[in-house]
Amino acid sequence: MPPILKTALALGLVVAIPATAPLYAAGSRSSPSQSTPQYDAAEEYQKGVKALEKADYRKAEKAFKRSLRVAPEDANTQYMLGVTYMRTEQFGKAVKRFERAVNTDADMVLAHRDLAIAYVQLDEQEKAQKVLGQMKALQAECREDANCAEMKDLDEAVMAVESELAGGGGTASYGPYMKVLADASRGDALYSDAIALINQQRYAEALEHLDDAALAFGPHPDILTYQGFANRKLKRFDVAEGYYGRALALAPEHRGAWEYYGELKLERGDMAGAKQHLARLESLCSFGCYEADELGRWIAKAEAQSSAL
């Protein structure tokens, strides 16, 4: 079923709107800025961003660390804490945070860039060159991947690191190049645009918008769920599974994440796992819900196909 109809049914809506209209994740009736306060990790992240923008680095550090207690594997939070340390010239601490961000999200261009720059600041040129090599490998992969939407970001990041290594001081300020971090309304627009792109099956472009929305909001289960969905549609199953797992770690009753994760289980041939997810959904939906019905249909279809072989 097309995502636009699927999401509308999940919310109990009558669809009479164009395919580009903003839709929200199953199990959530609001956009991320409206539902964020119930998720402590995202709330603390937002506090950290606002403190960072005001140059209150001590407050920013505390807020990002509180967020990481709830969502320790969130690459954006690790990255923003690293940015905080860069601003206070604590380059050793920054390196540790950027390394953790890269280990969690190997495709995070900003974290690679600033990790290399932090190494330069520590006069560890060899390590900086190694990170630059990794970035150039990502460049090469992106050129060969029709679904890659990060070519421009990679080119700019590589140029910044090369300038830093050459002593050109090409990066006067560290951190995200976007100005949406404390602007919840802009973050919601990025999120809505991403869902519209998913509805159009433009998954790589949707991921770019979702990544920017995640940088604006911090760890939020709705965004993580759709990051998992888009990666799944691009057949990046391991990556998708990681996003679903992080969404459920933040919101264990998030019906959309349970449903989509169950569908991923089926795509990977894990019928038992899919049925476990269905059982979990049924326990969450005492009187039935769209997500349980939809996953049940997926399971029934898979069983019918298996018996026909």
How far CA 6 is from CA of 9, 25, 50, 147, 252, in Å, comes to 5, 10, 36, 24, 21
pLDDT in tens, the chain (309 residues): 444 334 333 333 222 223 333 344 444 545 665 554 444 899 999 999 999 989 999 999 999 999 999 999 999 999 999 999 999 999 999 999 999 999 999 989 999 999 999 999 999 999 999 999 999 999 999 999 888 888 898 999 999 999 999 986 655 456 665 555 656 667 889 999 999 999 999 999 999 999 999 998 999 999 999 999 999 999 999 999 999 999 999 999 999 999 999 999 999 999 999 999 999 999 999 888 999 999 999 999 999 988 776
Largest CA distance in the chain: 66
How far CA 98 is from CA of 83, 112, 131, 187, 204, in Å, comes to 8, 7, 11, 23, 24
Domain coordinates in residue numbering, the chain: 3-29+180-303, 73-165
Architecture of the structural domain at 3-29+180-303:
Alpha Horseshoe (1.25)
* Burial (0-12, 13-18, 19+ Cβ within 10 Å), 177: exposed
220: left (phi over 0), alpha (psi -120 to 50) or beta: beta
List b or e across 20-57, with b for residues whose CB sees 16 or more CB atoms inside 10 angstroms: eeebbbbbbeebbbebbeebbbbbbbbbbbebbeeeeb
The closest of 278, 274, 277 to 302, measured between CA atoms, is: 274
Please check whether residue 180 is in contact with residue 188, taking contact to mean a CB–CB distance below 8 angstroms: no
- The answer, as to whether pTM is greater than 0.75, is yes
CATH number of 73-165: 1.25.40.10
Interacting residues of 258 by C-beta distance below 8 A, sequence separation 6+:
248, 277, 280, 281, 284, 291, 295
